[in-house]
Amino acid sequence: MIRHSLTTNTLFAVVLVMSLAISCSHRTASAPPPKPTAFGAAIVESSGGKQTAQTGASLPQPLVVQVNDEQGTAVPGALVEFSAAPGVTFDPANGLTDSSGQVTTNVTLGGMAGRYQLTASTIDKARKKVDLRIEEIALGYQQTLGRQLSDQYCDRCHNPESTVERLSNFDNLEIKPHPFTEGDTLNKISDADLTAIISHGGPALNKSALMPAWGNTLSKSDIQALISYIRAISDPPNRNAGPVYAEN
């Protein structure tokens, strides 16, 4: 009997400790945001919008927003809170603007492919909420493969921006290739025509002969993945770009 009582008491103690730990973690997660010392009139994106990352992954660059007053001057000490559809996380989820009027957060996207609409909010002097909408893109498996193929075979000509890893050839071409984000043009080209251009080169559809044929290098599934990636990142969005996830 004594042994049974000790076992029961020990079990009760363990459950109590676990309950307290869970309670503490909930209190930490729902800690109130810091109190602002100033208020702005507008919130704008400084950097970090329209990035792409694989589903469930962190964006490559942080999201930075800035709070300004009526004259467009940065406001230090203003509160900024971030929110989005379930599955998206922010680190941190809120904060006060620094001396340059900015707040920086690291964003991890949800587990479903598509476009995620993020909201950055501040409060003006009348205590009214001021919102900024920012869109980020989560790539599924096929689209991620397409991005890898684009990095390997396409970016050198279709991306005008040079990087440390890749020198762009865009400016050296007499006829400029369309960047894959150029939705105004690429959204008008069907998947079948894109497949023909990628497989057989530009002349297949009376396009520039500078566009080489990749049909002997890329498989049919590779080309489908590349087209899926192009549709995912188009701006304005393609009708096949996938769903948009926004906060309810």
**CATH number of the domain where residue 93 is located:** 2.60.40.10
Residues ≥6 apart with Cβ < 8 Å to 241: 114, 115, 231, 232, 234
In angstroms, the CA 126 to CA 147 distance is 45
In this structure, the answer to whether residues 88 and 127 fall within a common structural domain is yes
Candidate from 8-12, 28-32, 39-43, 155-159 with smallest mean pLDDT: 8-12
Q: Using one digit for the tens of pLDDT, what is the confidence trace for 227-243?
A: 999 999 999 999 888 89
Return the pLDDT at 172. 87
Query: Do both 128 and 152 map to the same domain?
Result: no
pLDDT digits (tens, 9 = 90+) for 114-157: 999 999 999 999 999 999 999 999 999 999 999 999 999 999 99
Q: Structural domain tally of the chain?
A: 3
Nearest alpha carbon to residue 64 among 134, 138, 161? 134
Domain assignment of residue 36, yes or no: no
Provide the residue range defining the domain that includes 228.
Answer: 141-243
> What average pLDDT score do residues 20-27 get?
39
Based on the fold, state whether residues 239 and 145 are members of the same structural domain: yes
For residue 217, tell me if it sits in a domain: yes
> Is residue 248 situated within a structural domain?
no
- What does the mean pLDDT of the chain come to? 89
Residue 58: inside a domain? yes
What distances in angstroms separate CA 63 from CA 106, 119, 152, 215, one per listed residue? 6, 11, 27, 38
